[in-house]
Amino acid sequence: MNSKREHSRQAPGALHATDQGERTIVQIVVRDNNVEQALKALKKKMQREGTFREMKRRNHYEKPSEKKARQKAEAIRRARKLARKRAQREGLLPKPKTAARR
């Protein structure tokens, strides 16, 4: 029995299915030929989804120890934010001051 394994070659910066998680398609509607407004909406969506942060992070190789430290710091930040929000809802902390919107 002769079994062959197929290997696919990818570029060094290529994303693997397990690396990217869930893939979403961003769709922006251009109204009245207003490309600037559509570009602004696209940048806002990408910022909200963390695409810019992801691109910056993937720009250079990240050592496994650095990745672990970054993930731990992010988890701590999320936990602190969740605890702060919970304390604000329960009235233990004052509500944050909201900035005046234009």
pLDDT in tens, the chain (102 residues): 454 444 444 444 444 444 455 677 878 888 899 999 999 999 999 999 888 888 988 999 999 999 999 999 999 999 999 999 999 999 888 888 887 665
Kindly report the backbone phi and psi dihedral angles of residue 98, in degrees, each rounded to the nearest multiple of 5, phi listed first: -90, 140
Tokens matching residue 11: 């570029």
23 closest CA partner among 2, 42, 41, 49: 49
| pTM of the complete model | 0.53
53-83 as b/e: b if 16+ CB within 10 A: eeeeeeeeeeeeeeeeeeeeeeeeeeeeeee
